[in-house]
Chains A and B, each alone.
Chain A
Amino acid sequence: MAFDVHKMRNIGISAHIDSGKTTLSERILFYCRKIHAIHEIKGKDGSGAAMDSMELERERGITIQSGATNVQWKNHSINLIDTPGHVDFTIEVERSLRVLDGAILVLCSVAGVQSQSITVDRQLKRYHVPRLAFVNKCDRMGANPLKVKAQLAEKLGLNPAFITIPIGLEDKFEGVIDLIDMRAIYFDGPNGEDLRYAEIPMHLLDDAERYREELLEAASMFSDELAEAYLDGNPTKELLIKAIRKGTIQEKLVPVFVGSAYRNKGVQPLLDGVINFLPDPSERQNKALDLSNAEAEVELQANDQEKTVALAFKLEEGQYGQLTYVRIYQGMIRKGDELYNTRARKRFRVGRLVRMHSSSMEDIQEGNCGDIVALFGIECASGDTFCHPDLNYTMTSMYVPEPVISLAITPKDNKSSDQMSKALNRFTKEDPTFRTYVDPESNQTIIQGMGELHLEVYIERMKREYKCEVTPGMPQVAYRETITQRADFNYTHKKQTGGSGQYGRIAGYIEPFKEGSYEFVDLIKGGAIPNEFIPSCDKGFRAAMEKGALIGFPVTGVRCVINDGQSHPVDSSDIAFQFAAIGAFREAYDKAKPAILEPIMKVVVETPNEFQGNVFASLNQRRGIIMANTENSIFSRIEAEVPLSEMFGYSTVLRSLTQGKAEFSMEFEKYARVPAALSEQLRKDYLEKHKKGHK
């Protein structure tokens, strides 16, 4: 098949857990003839859905890794990027969103727009990903696609328009009406693969007419041609599709499809929608930064003839070695090409090049512009940019939040210990929000991440994939220390022990620095400290800031300024000035009124109104500040800022407070000062621990 960028789609399926995303993915794969039998996700036959490549996900019924799968539909090539639904895996979601050109937002027709749908939608908005909505589970009790459509407008501020509407609902859900061709579609055959077109049932004719009018009106906003044809009474299918497509790509219109993936209904029209309404790679603007030109923005051309620019967005350690998924933004990647990794500043040659299908892979000779392919055996990190050796571009750096929670893990036996470092090595490469280090004091391995569940999943994965059992400690919040006022220092480091001594004096001040975590300013005139030792001072300050004197957490938000000093012709050295800076920092730190900072999470709770008071109280007890409350006659959505340290175990509490009818999501918001009483307590705990350690 000749390559045509206009016949390519890179799409993701974004959704709330349990809205049926995995089932939908699998139906899509099936109808595109890639897999030959449909498994239910929590499969009776134990084989599970094809998109979930990891056992753990199968067991939990959720999808963690974003596998990229290529399928063909009506002469179009679709790369399906499966995005995880839980907010604890935000980096995974965001990394996939970066490479998407369009998305299907899956919603449950019973539960509607939930708090996590809102988070996911916000992410789509951030990356300007055009989307279709699929209202799934129309066969369930209480299905109400109309309500869901209204919520898309109310809660997400979108402009939704039905493309298909249901024929019957709940157990009477039979098929859909296609409002573009104005006909009924039934899904026959054992797996709904045989489409039968029919007249619209009489009793639904009025509804169909009404929603078609709505669709025409909404679409007319994006095409004068269509508006004219509509007024004249003969809008053509082509004009209508063109207008909807335009509105969708501008993110001003969201086509809504209905169906039930589980009952094999409504999926094929959705696939037609992907082709008709979502953009191809050439219709999206992508930018890179030119490292050779002061990071000036360059617009990339989705064209095979240009020089290659590609982004590595996902790594996977498979049985054959490291697999790197890349999205090609400009030019092509051919087997044997030389490419340049701009972060590592290394050239490498493209070896094996593959296209991933659900559970098999296909060797290919080249990848075209806009496509998603995988490279074998490339040493790189997720987020690296690969360019033609003539270029020095980097794709806009992906936003990587700092981890907010940490946990000590201890391997249960020797064998686990070996496996643990292997596992951690791989996880940290795959997921930039997952970090690990060995605490020099306790000699324990610490893992850090974005939430309790985030860390739990990795502990589970160690057990399953690496047969490595670990005992987790208590989760620990990542506190920070900072200073609140300016303080001067004038410190002399002097040491006379036999041989050559150490001498260095530095003077200056430290002050709060709001714009970042650290800044070093050298105001020394006349060489009071020789130039060669200035970097030593910088290094010393950095070292001092690694561990604050209050509770031993990293110090942040400090500007260190040096303006005077003294050196000794013989005894001054790099190390002497490093020690001087460390001493100077400690001297000034106390005077600078240090304070402890803690991570504050943005928490969103959705609850039936009857439990609203309970939720208010539970947030209030957790030192939360309730920012806003949005309610309709049934549900309230409560937004609050709550310290992470107070959120441990909140899901259990919330469940019991609301009979399991409420749910919540949280993500990192900012660091803020801890109240005085708590600060005292933390300090006391730290000193006690410290004392014990020294006994």
Chain B
Amino acid sequence: MLKEEFIQKSPVRIFEKSIEGGLHAGNIGILASKKGIGKTSVLVQIALDKLMQGEKVIHVSFNAHTSYIISWYENIFNEIARRKNLENIEEIKEQMIRNRMIMNFMQENISVDQIIRTIKAIMSDGSFNAKTLIIDGFEFTRATVERFEKVKAFLSETQLEGWYTCTLADTEPVLDSKGIPIVLRDIEPYISVIVLLEPKKDYIHLRVVKNHESLERGDMPLMLDPRTLLIAEA
């Protein structure tokens, strides 16, 4: 399969369709679930889709070594490339590596200002004009209105779209009556899209609980295979 067809047939197209065509520049999106369900995998698949289209992606992580993140990308790419019989794999990989930047912040207490400064530095001094920001492992119990105000302003300024993963607590209740995770209650106004990953009997279900300004929420016609952690049409 050629790259163009591969991109066109990607399940990420369905994902985007369910959220008004995508997250869009300047917005914050969140993938939320309990631990170990596959949030990172879904984010990496979104990132890979952007990378394949030749867009630049910055992957920010708070809790993993860069080599660990790189192997996430490697493994998922190799798996989907193998399944779809993708052509010119080496070339595509090469291009993706050029377009991907991994940023690892080693300590919990690094301020949002420092992170923003670093990303700005890489975009300007490093001439890395990314379109997408992936933020994995942020501890939302530390999320404050002030912080997300800054993040939102930064994303608007740089025209980045920012996807976060959010780990939900193990103890109930985690959702409010509208289905929004309680941990996100205060910062909800800054967030455009929230997608929940919910384990069902033998698959993982994706549900949109906030969809821009639209009232159209509900199930995505997608599922996540708990074994391979790949998304596919339901």
* Chain A residues within 8 Å of B, Cβ to Cβ: 154, 157, 514, 609, 612-614, 616-617, 619-620, 625-633, 636, 639
- Which A residue sits closest to B128, measured CB to CB? A626
CB distance B105 to A632 under 8 Å?
yes
From B65, B107, B114, B126, A617 is in contact (CB under 8 Å) with B126
What are 24 inter-chain pairs, A to B, with CB distance below 8 A? A157-B65, A514-B90, A609-B118, A613-B121, A616-B122, A617-B125, A619-B126, A620-B125, A620-B126, A620-B127, A625-B98, A626-B101, A626-B128, A628-B66, A628-B101, A629-B122, A630-B66, A630-B103, A630-B106, A631-B104, A631-B105, A631-B110, A631-B114, A631-B118
CB distance A632 to B121 under 8 Å?
no
CA distance A620 to B114 in the complex (A): 21
CB distance A613 to B125 under 8 Å?
yes
Interface residues on B, range: 20 to 34
Residues of B within 8 A of A614 (CB): 125
CA distance A29 to B63 in the complex (A): 42
Q: Residues 130-173 of chain B: 1 if any A CB is under 8 Å from the residue's CB, otherwise 0?
A: 00000000000000000000000000000000000000000000
Q: Residues 41-60 of chain B: 1 if any A CB is under 8 Å from the residue's CB, otherwise 0?
A: 00000000000000000000
CA distance A613 to B70 in the complex (A): 23
Given contacts A629-B122, A633-B107, 17 further A-B contacts (CB under 8 A): A612-B121, A613-B124, A616-B122, A617-B125, A617-B126, A620-B127, A625-B98, A626-B101, A626-B122, A626-B128, A627-B101, A627-B102, A629-B104, A630-B104, A631-B105, A632-B106, A636-B118
Residues of A within 8 A of B70 (CB): 628
The minimal Cβ–Cβ distance linking B55 to chain A, given in whole angstroms, is 16
CA distance A157 to B106 in the complex (A): 12
CA distance A632 to B107 in the complex (A): 6
CB distance A633 to B101 under 8 Å?
no
The minimal Cβ–Cβ distance linking A351 to chain B, given in whole angstroms, is 48
Residues of A within 8 A of B102 (CB): 627-629
Q: Which of A613, A628, A630, A631 has the most CB of B within 10 A?
A: A628
The reply to whether the CB of B1 lies closer than 8 angstroms to some CB of chain A is no
The reply to whether the CB of B112 lies closer than 8 angstroms to some CB of chain A is no
The reply to whether the CB of B97 lies closer than 8 angstroms to some CB of chain A is yes
CA distance A625 to B98 in the complex (A): 6
Residues of B within 8 A of A613 (CB): 121, 124-125
CA distance A206 to B105 in the complex (A): 32
CA distance A552 to B44 in the complex (A): 43
Residues of B within 8 A of A514 (CB): 90
The minimal Cβ–Cβ distance linking B6 to chain A, given in whole angstroms, is 21
Residues of B within 8 A of A619 (CB): 126
CB distance B106 to A154 under 8 Å?
yes
CA distance A639 to B90 in the complex (A): 21
Residues of A within 8 A of B126 (CB): 616-617, 619-620, 626
CB distance A629 to B106 under 8 Å?
no
The reply to whether the CB of B177 lies closer than 8 angstroms to some CB of chain A is no
CB distance B66 to A609 under 8 Å?
no
Residues of B within 8 A of A616 (CB): 121-122, 125-126
Residues of B within 8 A of A617 (CB): 125-126
Give residues of chain B (77-116) contacting chain A, Cβ–Cβ below 8 Å. Answer: 90, 97-98, 100-107, 109-110, 114
Q: Which of B107, B122, B126 has the most CB of A within 10 A?
A: B126
Residues of B within 8 A of A626 (CB): 101, 122, 126, 128
CA distance A628 to B101 in the complex (A): 6
The minimal Cβ–Cβ distance linking A546 to chain B, given in whole angstroms, is 26
The minimal Cβ–Cβ distance linking A610 to chain B, given in whole angstroms, is 10
Q: Which of B100, B102, B107, B121 has the most CB of A within 10 A?
A: B121
Residues of B within 8 A of A636 (CB): 118
CA distance A609 to B98 in the complex (A): 23
The minimal Cβ–Cβ distance linking A625 to chain B, given in whole angstroms, is 6
CA distance A636 to B117 in the complex (A): 13
From B90, B97, B110, B124, A632 is in contact (CB under 8 Å) with B110
Q: Which of B65, B104, B125 has the most CB of A within 10 A?
A: B125
CB distance B125 to A629 under 8 Å?
no
CB distance B103 to A629 under 8 Å?
yes
From B97, B104, B107, B121, A625 is in contact (CB under 8 Å) with B97
Residues of B within 8 A of A630 (CB): 66, 103-106
